[in-house]
Amino acid sequence: MKKILACTLACGVLLAGCGQKPDDRVATLEGEVKALTVELEQEQARNETLQDQVTKLDGDLRDSRGDADELALKVSKLSSKNEELVDEIDALKTKLESAEARTTTPTPEEPSVSEPTVETPEKTPEDTPETTPPAPDPKVKQRLTDLLPLVKTGTDREALNEAVELIYGSDKQTRDDFITEIQTWVKNEPNNKYARLTLARALTTRFQDLEGKFMKQGELAGQIRTETEKALETDPDYYEAVHFLAILEVNYPAFTPEFKGADKDLDKALELQKTLTWEDHFADIYTAYAQWHRKQ
């Protein structure tokens, strides 16, 4: 408005000095007023546009601060979990050292006492009782039957964990029956990553049946690794398979190439975790990493 008044006054003085007619002066002033009015409206429009931009930038800034706070909270949680894992590892290491010290401490020999020799007749094969394998538990068999459809969805990790725990603690026949079911699933769906990983996990329960048979244990470990790798051939970013393979490799002897290359799968698991919602079993990777470094 100040611009308009100033221009109007200046025009009036100029026209008066020039001796213009009143009508001409009025027409000239009206033209100036209209031009200034248009300019004022344009300035107001630009001001409103700038104000909208300021409001948007302020909103973006608040969103960015919120994201930063959320990321900081996640980092804080991960840091605290990592510290807890380090403490647990140190405690386990202390217990292990104490146990090793106890086993290496010589114990005093007790004086030998001569006992009268009693001759016992040698047992013939007919006299040796045969060990009868434990009978399958009907309740366990029924529970595994109920869990199998959930396991075959491929997404119910709790059902799979329960099934693996059940066959691990059960008799050999129950283990074999369940593994046969999964092998049939794999045969029918060879490109199903869930079927392959389920078979790999189920096969881990057979190590207890091969106690002392190191060659067979090595063959079983190779079979487990093969099934896991076939799952990853179908989906290289299948987190559960990467997670399982990384931990499997860490448990190989330290001189093996599988153990030496475990860090690559551990790194990949950590990268994939960044894209997923945190779950408790993600912490297994941190524990496995610590174990891998300790065994170097």
Confidence at residue 116, expressed as pLDDT on a 0 to 100 scale = 37
Rounded Cα gap, residues 23 and 20, in angstroms: 8
More confident residue, 205 or 79: 205
**What is the reported pLDDT for 15?**
47
76 or 145: whose pLDDT is higher? 145
So what's the pLDDT on residue 68? 62
* 226 domain residue, yes or no: yes
Q: Is the pLDDT of residue 290 over 50?
A: yes
Question: Looking at the domain assignment, is residue 107 inside a domain?
Answer: no
Instruction: List pLDDT tens digits, range 251-280.
Output: 999 999 999 999 999 999 999 999 999 988
Q: Please report whether residue 244 resides in a domain.
A: yes
Q: Are residues 289 and 217 in the same domain?
A: yes
96 has a pLDDT exceeding 80: no
pLDDT(2) > 60:
no
- Amino acid (one-letter) located at 275: T
Of 84-93, 95-104, 191-200, 280-289, highest mean pLDDT: 191-200
- The domain that contains 252 carries what CATH number? 1.25.40.10
217 neighbors 210 (Cβ within 8 angstroms): yes
Which residue, 179, 295, 280, 291, is CA-closest to 246? Answer: 291
Is residue 47 in some structural domain? yes
Pair of tokens at residue 232 = 């990853």
> For position 38, what pLDDT does the model report?
76
Count other C-beta atoms under 10 Å from residue 27's C-beta: 12
The answer on 264 and 241 residing in a single domain is: yes
Whether residues 148 and 249 fall in one domain: yes
* 91 and 32, same domain (yes or no): no
Residue 118 has pLDDT above 60, yes or no: no
Instruction: Answer yes or no: is 130 within a domain.
Output: no
Rounded to whole angstroms, the Cα distance separating 134 from 137 reads 9
| Contact criterion met (CB below 8 Å) for 214 and 174 | no
Based on the domain organization, do 233 and 168 belong to the same domain? yes
Task: Please tell me the distance from the alpha carbon of residue 226 to that of residue 244, in angstroms, as a whole number.
Answer: 12
Nearest to residue 160, comparing CAs of 207, 196, 135? 196
Q: Is residue 66 part of a domain?
A: yes
CB 281 within 8 A of CB 269: no
Q: Is the domain of 179 the same as that of 265? A: yes
- Average pLDDT for 90-114: 50
CA distance 281 to 284: 5
Over the stretch 189-236, which tens digit does the pLDDT of each residue have? 999 999 999 999 999 999 999 999 999 999 999 999 999 999 999 999
Least confident of 6-10, 175-179, 281-285: 6-10
The two three-digit tokens of residue 199, written as one number: 């078979």
Q: What is the pTM assigned to this prediction?
A: 0.56
* Residues 147, 68 share a domain: no
Per-residue pLDDT, 71: 65
How many domains does the structure of the chain reveal? 2
Q: Is residue 262 domain-shared with residue 168, that is, in the same domain?
A: yes
CA distances from 194 to 80, 158, 285 (A): 32, 14, 20
**68 and 155 both lie in a single domain:** no
Identify which has the larger pLDDT, 185 or 17: 185
Residue 123 lies in a domain: no
Please compute the mean of the pLDDT values over residues 85-105 and round it to a whole number.
58
- Please tell me the distance from the alpha carbon of residue 158 to that of residue 279, in angstroms, as a whole number: 12
On whether residue 109 sits in a domain, the answer given is no
> Which of 82, 104, 125 is where one domain is finished?
82
When the pLDDT of each residue in the chain is averaged and rounded to a whole number, the result is 79
46 in the same domain as 88: no
Q: What is the pLDDT of residue 56?
A: 75
Asked if 78 and 141 sit in the same domain, the reply is no
pLDDT of residue 226: 96
Statement to judge: residues 221 and 147 lie in one domain: yes
Query: Of 36, 55, 82, which residue constitutes the final position of a domain?
Result: 82
The residue among 82, 108, 125 that closes a domain is 82
pLDDT band at 113 (very low <50, low <70, confident <90, very high): very low
Q: Tokens 């002897």 label which residue?
A: 253
pLDDT at residue 112 is higher than 60: no
Q: Is the pLDDT of residue 36 over 50?
A: yes
Q: Which domain holds residue 70?
A: 2-82
Lowest mean pLDDT among 15-24, 73-82, 85-94: 15-24
What is the per-residue pLDDT for 184?
97
CA separation for the pair 63, 76 (Å, rounded):
20
Question: What letter does residue 19 receive in the DSSP assignment?
Answer: T
- pLDDT tens for residues 143-175? 999 999 999 999 999 999 999 999 999 999 999
Question: 42-69: per-residue pLDDT in tens?
Answer: 777 777 777 777 777 767 667 666 666 6
